[in-house]
Structure 1
Amino acid sequence: MSEWGSHGGGSPHETEVPFIAWGAGIKQNPVRQDIKQIDVAPFLSILIGNIIPINSLGMLPVEYLDVDNETLMDVLMTNTRQLAEIFQVKHHRTEQNALIYIPYEGATDITIRERFHRLEQLQRTKNVRRFKLESQEFMKFLIEGADYYHNYYQYPILISITIGFSFWICYLILLVLEFHSDIPSKILPRRKHKKNMILLVVYIVTVLTCYKSRFPLTYYFHFLFPIFMFSVIRQKLDLLRMFLATFSNNLGPNLLNLVFYLAGLKIIVYGFHNRLGFSILMLLISTWILSSKTLRENTNPAEKTFWVSCCLILSIFTMLPVMNTKFNIVAYTIGYVAWLLAFTQVYRNNKYFYNKGKVRVNKKSLLVQLTGLIASGVLVILLEKDIMPYYSPQKKWSWVIMTVPIAMVPFSTEFIPLRLASTFFGFVPYYMLVSKNYEPLFLLFYSAFLCVWLLVESKCFLKSKSYTIIYHHKFQEYGDVMKNLDANVFRRAFLFMAMIFLGFFGTGNVASVNSFDPMWVRAFLTLFSPFTMAALIVFKLSIPFIFTCCVFKAINAVGRENVLIIFCIVLIFSDVMVMQFLYLITNVGSWLEIGSSLSHFVMVEVFVMILLLLYGVAHFLTSIKYPW
């Protein structure tokens, strides 16, 4: 339990609890002995005179027992034999089924019998101190051996999955290359049937090996996947040769880019465990506009300064403390006023409302959004200062403030700056209602960086020095064109992915349920309603993602990029991260450590599917129009 009442804490004061026992057979003033949760089962079994559960891997905490020496040695021997039975079952099962058997060091049947014989001798001679010491060492040895055989196939599976993912990433690269090249993918001619027969033999041998080892069905897929991906890549050898030749022709810069992206992905993985990683990432991104020739030549000093400033400011947010339930009126008010000033600046700039005198945006819809923005901040402050009670029926206005500004988005025109401004200001009122700290201020600078990113990429696409060039483009003017593959498309995909992750971690969240505070929705609900609360919280978390997807769609619209190819590149990046998270999965430690290692792997694995869904939402928001 965390300090604010949420589940999922992993610190010692949250995971370590006192163990209290009293009654017959328990010492009144025992020496402190820290135990594990699994040690409770054998302890209770001995106290009530029952057998120890057959699959228990716990060690009896003897310091808590108030029994005579003979009974103490008997219960320790019982615990040791029970653990030895588990060890022997796993040992013999692995020995019989494994194609290549490597025994646990020092764990032969002879050594096991010798150690039991040694314990029996100590028990007969009533050498209690020595018996207790050696039996506990023996039990630790048996537990480690059982764990060794339980995870016997862990490394072969990891290696197989790694090879399979490597082939899969290679296939995605070839797919991107195939789209940007004139060389068709050639299917192998039938005269190479010998190689096909070899692959068939490999398939059969792999299946028979899995069957002989009595693997579960999932293991079959793990070991067959790399073989299948190799057979697929083998049919694209021409593309593979062309890719290697192209890469080697410009080896220095390509290697530099490769190292940069791999380092960036490693930093993102590190950021899942320590948000400081995203501060480092934003510092690296801030240098991109100065180090990249394309970005440097197509931007003016003011745009470079704005890019670097936004990156530096965003890097500060991920160094701030994680989510806190206390309302910070100073940080909240600064963010609230900053959004009002941003709206005023946008509204006063006539270029946002006129496009060469041809299109006029309905200013009334923006004024409605401004009203919602003003009302949201006022309502939150009234609630937090107890001027309006939490059970007030006036909370129903929160739902109006949430829905009406979003409903104003389709009133704006399809020109990119106009629709983006309406989309941003449509969602901000709700975001203000569910914020308690510096989140609104973060979202402002986050949105500012997205805007300058759109401007910079548009100028790179259009080879124009004027920042007003973006005003001529609409979201509907979209059509893929064949282009030569260059490094810029990888930069855009990487920035897209990096901003998505920053949108989550930058507001004080951590990759755990522990970071989601039910008090966020205090302006909407009076009674506990878990499903409604979950929906509102997820909606809040998705707003930065929606902003990023809308801007990314605008970039693709200006550059007429193929969305599927872009997402293939994002999938390449995410799969590289998946391979890193795969080796970070653990089954030891606190529930938070175990659960986080699994959830990180699953989150990144489904990352692209979530992005496709959010991109669909962005497409809806940027294209929908009312019929009147």
Structure 2
Amino acid sequence: MNGKKKDGRQRLHFVPENNVEMPVDKKKTFDQSSNQMFLMNTDTICLVLAGLFTHLVFFYSIFDIYFTSPLVHGMTPHVSPLKPAASRLVLFSADGLRADKFFGLDENGQSRAPYLRNIIHKHGAWGVSHTRVPTESRPGHVALIAGFYEDVSAVAKGWKENPVEFDSVFNQSRYTWSWGSPDILPMFSKGASGDHVFTEMYTSDEEDFAASHASDLDTWVFDKVKAFFEGAKLDRDLYERLQKDKLVFFLHLLGIDTNGHSHKPHSEVYLKNIELVDTGIKEMVKLFDDFYDRDGKTTYIMSSDHGMTNWGSHGAGNPHETLTPIVAWGAGIRGPLESSNQVIYPDTFSQEWKLHDIKRTDVNQADIATLMSSVIGVAYPMNSVGTLPLSYLNSSDFEKAESIFANAQQILEQYQVKMDQKKSTTLSMAFRPFSKLLPSIQRDRIRNIRNLIKSGQYQLAITESQTLIELGLEGLNYYHGYDRFFLGLSIVFGFVGWMIYTLTLVVRDHSGLISVTIKLEKLSQPVWLQDKPIKLVFAIIGVAVTVLLKVQSLPFSNYMYCLIPVVLWMFVALRLTVFQQLFKKLNLAKNIRTIFIAIVPPVLGLEILVMGFFKRELLSVGLVMIAVWPLITAKSIWKDKVTAAGWIVSCLLLSVFPLAPVVGRQINYIYVITSGVFVVVSATYMIFWLKRSHESKKERKFRHQHIFLVNIIQVVVIGLATYNVWTVSSSIARSQGLPFINQLTSYVILVFSMISPFLGGTSVTHRLFTVTLALFPPYLLLSISYEDLFFVTLTAVLYFWIKLEINLNDKKVSSLQIVLPLIRQKSVTVLRLRHFKPFLRFEPASVYCFITKFDPFMMGSLMMLKNVLPFVLVSCVFHAIHVLTSIPTKALFLIVLIMSDFMALNFFFLVRDYGSWLEIGTSISHYVIVMCMIIFLMVLFVLSHALTTVSVLPRIKHSRE
């Protein structure tokens, strides 16, 4: 409906769903709106479910477009025809070992790994292995041993099982024996054909991040290898197997990674663990040499799956995470060479290693798999995308030419299968082959390389083979992303269709500009816009799309990506008359200022938020703007000076947090304990203030005595959570682990916090207060630094937001000018200020009150819960404002969705598959974060209603408060 100010200017504001204006009554209870909500929200529930399904499809699409498995099957294996240099290979994987901590010198100028340092100087080759995002244990070891870079979707399916079958050096070996973690070893043994990969593992319970003896995991491996060879002397069958060729021994050493998480890479514990690994490798080399009578047929390689940040995490693309060491020596590996000092490396810290006089040879992590295959003479892993690092080999030019040519043929096998697969699922007339490597070009290049080798032009043959590998990898990427543009365009059409459709619902049902009679009017519609012709046209389009997809045998997900936009745009077409009537009713000349205020500032705010994902400081700018915005647009708010001042101060305090260091880099439990004490004191004061307030009004004693008791218990639980954090942090600092009583207490507190909101009253004051007290304990238990101060500040902002909305509503100021940007700002700020990227980061310290044993899914779930808790609070406040101001929840919810989708579409366009791996991973994670936020908003739209209206107590009529 239209409203008039006293000065005659027209204003726009929301009206309830039935298009009847309702008087504002501050004294509301959630009970008063609950029945009405469920009665009028049958269509809203359907809309939420449809929106949830649509956005889940959009969310999954990014994995289908960018993160589908690159693997293909059915290739012919290729192996160098030459006699291998080694009969056996020993691979040491020092999990979580950073290149700078390994190669660097201590404060006395001494190496932390003197044995391997001596290898570099006198016996072998060395360099830096460059890993890719995500820098996690599973994808790192897959690249190291199988030669390909596993996608993030596979990591999400688990560390212990194979989401897809893949080939590996272990599978190609005659026999492989491995010792180490139950999280790594099984995925290579279960993926191997036959029964020739043997594992010996410790239990997952021994992987305790809070233990002081994580290096014992490495000692366990070394001891087991010693026992293995002692047993082999008495086991004739095993002894005979060990005398054969094409053998692989894999020692997975997890202690460095575990100590890095617990004590950080700069700690004495982490650095001492490097010394222990170095000593252990020295013992292992002597053990192998003695067992095989120093026959010179053993190759040794030491490397790592990933590094670690200074604050003890990994998963993203920080150089400390992506730069790992590689040292190779033994059979088939060249000795040290003098450095020409002509190569300039991108890292700045390698000068401190004092190794500039010895040639450094960097590799991509996947190249190590080809190196291992080459030295022991097994076929290159059929899924490998690595290029054989020839500079590590101690062989002739002829041998190098043959080896790299076999590597090129192995890459081309994958390329051919990939091309055939894509060709079979594409209409022949529409198929676009990779022009740089057509079949005729491929044949000519192979023939040319063979001729060059035969004529003795080995260096030229090597160059041609390397070029062919580059073209093959480029072709693999081309066919892997063949449908990317088409699928991306479908998703974009889907986003735009959903936003326009949602906007039609807002304009039709909640703007007050379209009357009921107009909404039902059909006679004024043009014939071509009437329902039946529109539905027929889109039905024909849908059938045509389905037939095209069916003919090409495309996966079921493609049907959803292509048909959802068709359905959405059909609904848009059915509602075009809404915009026709809007333009007729809305006088653009008279309402230009109102329209400008309603559209431009929110759009600018959203763009600031989008840029804030790249420049965190911009979030502070946005919060400062939010602080002053209502005071500029509604100067009458200054009549309530306490609310105005509180709003400005709390927003400005919140704006400090984007400028603070990322949570996780520094662990400081003083902040957590201080926040807990402050909340206990403040909440206790509020409880007794509310109690006196109700007693003065002579409210029902039973009801309010019960609520008073619930709140008191909640405060006690907050105090208990604070004490629990203090005792657990102290225990871990003393390297005594997580006491069982503290672990049990944490889970009891978590369960009680989940049910306590339903034990209180449903009046606005009581329920919001109860919900807030319920969210603090789990947030305290999951905090490690200043994030609890953030939560306290956010709570203050939300309190003054409610007061501000009530005052704005009383003063007849349009809530459209403040509520919607504020909701968006608070929701996104809550997410971004946390600075947690659960898709790329692993920070176990946050869950030490609950679990210290390695369990990625439990740890990930708890971290996700921590990110969701602020959303729950914001959603409950959102619903409270609806009750207090009679602004329709559905209208605000729909516009929040439009704004969220606008941000998601921004990030969808910013997703990239080129450039550095940090840039690629970051761009994708931003889209994932915003889509998760949208899905959470939909779920919390329902959850917040339950939290603010459902009570386990009998319904007692409330007085308005």
Q: TM-score, normalised by structure 1?
A: 0.82
Task: Give yes or no for contact 2:401–2:458 (8 Å, CA) kept in 1.
Answer: yes
1:239 CA drift (Å):
0.7
Corresponding residue for 1:263? 604
Q: What are the superposed Cα offsets for residues 367-401 of structure 1, whole Å, 9 maximum, x if unpaired?
A: 44444444443454355445997527477566666
Q: State which of 216, 220, 225 in structure 1 corresponds to 2:559.
A: 220
Please say if 1:455 is aligned against 2:797: no
Alignment of 1:27-66 (within 5 A): 27-29=334-336, 31-66=359-394
Query: Taking structure 1 as reference, are residues 67 and 538 closer, same or farther at Cα in structure 2, changes over 3 Å only?
Result: closer
Query: Taking structure 1 as reference, are residues 525 and 201 closer, same or farther at Cα in structure 2, changes over 3 Å only?
Result: closer
Alignment of 1:548-563 (within 5 A): 548-563=874-889
Q: Find the residue that maps to 2:841 and give its secondary structure.
A: helix
Task: Give yes or no for contact 1:352–1:418 (8 Å, CA) kept in 2.
Answer: no
Alignment of 1:402-551 (within 5 A): 413-463=761-811, 488-489=815-816, 491-512=818-839, 514=841, 516-522=843-849, 537-551=863-877
Read off the aligned partner of 1:509 and give its amino acid letter: F
Alpha-carbon distance in 2 for matches of 1:247, 1:446:
40
1:554 CA drift (Å):
0.9
Alpha-carbon distance in 2 for matches of 1:48, 1:14:
30
Q: What are the superposed Cα offsets for residues 410-451 of structure 1, whole Å, 9 maximum, x if unpaired?
A: 675543234323332344345434433223322211111000
Corresponding residue for 1:280? 621
1:354 CA drift (Å):
3.2
Corresponding residue for 1:184? 519
Corresponding residue for 1:468? none
Read off the aligned partner of 2:647 and give its amino acid letter: W
Alpha-carbon distance in 2 for matches of 1:93, 1:510:
35
1:575 CA drift (Å):
1.9
C-alpha RMSD of the superposition:
4.0
Query: Taking structure 1 as reference, are residues 573 and 185 closer, same or farther at Cα in structure 2, changes over 3 Å only?
Result: farther
Task: Give yes or no for contact 1:574–1:608 (8 Å, CA) kept in 2.
Answer: yes
Please say if 1:254 is aligned against 2:595: yes
Read off the aligned partner of 2:785 and give its amino acid letter: N
Alpha-carbon distance in 2 for matches of 1:14, 1:313:
33
Query: Taking structure 1 as reference, are residues 185 and 118 closer, same or farther at Cα in structure 2, changes over 3 Å only?
Result: farther
Corresponding residue for 2:326? 19
Query: Which range moved further: 544-553 or 415-424?
Result: 415-424
1:302 CA drift (Å):
3.9
Alpha-carbon distance in 2 for matches of 1:7, 1:578:
26
Read off the aligned partner of 1:308 and give its amino acid letter: I
Q: Which has the higher helix share?
A: 1
Query: Which range moved further: 445-454 or 196-205?
Result: 196-205
1:409 CA drift (Å):
5.3
User: More relative contact order in 1 or in 2 (CA 8 Å, sep 6+)?
Assistant: 2
Corresponding residue for 2:906? 580
Please say if 1:238 is aligned against 2:568: no
Read off the aligned partner of 2:487 and give its amino acid letter: I
Task: Give yes or no for contact 2:388–2:404 (8 Å, CA) kept in 1.
Answer: yes
Q: Find the residue that maps to 2:804 and give its secondary structure.
A: helix
Alignment of 1:274-423 (within 5 A): 275-291=616-632, 293=633, 295-300=634-639, 301-324=641-664, 328-343=668-683, 345-347=685-687, 349=689, 353-354=693-694, 357-359=697-699, 361-362=704-705, 363-385=708-730, 390-391=738-739, 393=741, 413-423=761-771
Query: Taking structure 1 as reference, are residues 111 and 271 closer, same or farther at Cα in structure 2, changes over 3 Å only?
Result: same
Alpha-carbon distance in 1 for matches of 2:825, 2:479:
40
1:355 CA drift (Å):
8.5
Please say if 1:122 is aligned against 2:452: yes
Task: Give yes or no for contact 2:534–2:570 (8 Å, CA) kept in 1.
Answer: no
Task: Give yes or no for contact 2:768–2:877 (8 Å, CA) kept in 1.
Answer: yes
Q: Find the residue that maps to 1:152 and give its secondary structure.
A: coil
Query: Taking structure 1 as reference, are residues 136 and 174 closer, same or farther at Cα in structure 2, changes over 3 Å only?
Result: same
Q: What are the superposed Cα offsets for residues 498-544 of structure 1, whole Å, 9 maximum, x if unpaired?
A: 3233334434533446365355442x668778777666555544332
Alpha-carbon distance in 1 for matches of 2:429, 2:896:
39
Q: State which of 564, 567, 570 in structure 1 corresponds to 2:890.
A: 564
Query: Taking structure 1 as reference, are residues 244 and 62 closer, same or farther at Cα in structure 2, changes over 3 Å only?
Result: farther
Q: Which has the higher strand share?
A: 2
1:158 CA drift (Å):
1.2
Task: Give yes or no for contact 1:490–1:569 (8 Å, CA) kept in 2.
Answer: no
Alignment of 1:140-219 (within 5 A): 140-180=470-510, 181-182=514-515, 183-184=518-519, 198-219=537-558
Task: Give yes or no for contact 2:508–2:578 (8 Å, CA) kept in 1.
Answer: yes
Query: Which range moved further: 166-175 or 6-15?
Result: 6-15
Corresponding residue for 1:471? none
Corresponding residue for 2:105? none
Q: Find the residue that maps to 1:514 and give its secondary structure.
A: coil
Task: Give yes or no for contact 1:368–1:405 (8 Å, CA) kept in 2.
Answer: no
**Identity of paired residues, percent?**
26
Query: Taking structure 1 as reference, are residues 374 and 606 closer, same or farther at Cα in structure 2, changes over 3 Å only?
Result: closer
Q: TM-score, normalised by structure 2?
A: 0.56
Alpha-carbon distance in 1 for matches of 2:903, 2:603:
9
Task: Give yes or no for contact 2:502–2:894 (8 Å, CA) kept in 1.
Answer: yes
Structure 2 gap ranges (5+): 1-95, 97-307, 338-358, 957-961
1:347 CA drift (Å):
4.6
Q: Find the residue that maps to 1:17 and give its secondary structure.
A: strand
Alpha-carbon distance in 2 for matches of 1:619, 1:435:
27
Corresponding residue for 1:470? none
Task: Give yes or no for contact 2:914–2:920 (8 Å, CA) kept in 1.
Answer: yes
Read off the aligned partner of 2:576 and give its amino acid letter: L
Task: Give yes or no for contact 2:677–2:722 (8 Å, CA) kept in 1.
Answer: no
Read off the aligned partner of 1:228 and give its amino acid letter: V
Alignment of 1:80-99 (within 5 A): 80-91=408-419, 97=427, 99=429
1:331 CA drift (Å):
2.6
Structure 1 gap ranges (5+): 465-485
Instruction: Count matched residues.
Output: 604
Q: What are the superposed Cα offsets for residues 322-351 of structure 1, whole Å, 9 maximum, x if unpaired?
A: 233865254335424432453355356469
Corresponding residue for 2:398? 70
Q: What are the superposed Cα offsets for residues 126-175 of structure 1, whole Å, 9 maximum, x if unpaired?
A: 23333333332332123213312321221122122212221121011001
Query: Taking structure 1 as reference, are residues 210 and 531 closer, same or farther at Cα in structure 2, changes over 3 Å only?
Result: closer
1:274 CA drift (Å):
5.5
Alpha-carbon distance in 2 for matches of 1:153, 1:395:
49
Q: What are the superposed Cα offsets for residues 57-82 of structure 1, whole Å, 9 maximum, x if unpaired?
A: 33222212222222222222233334
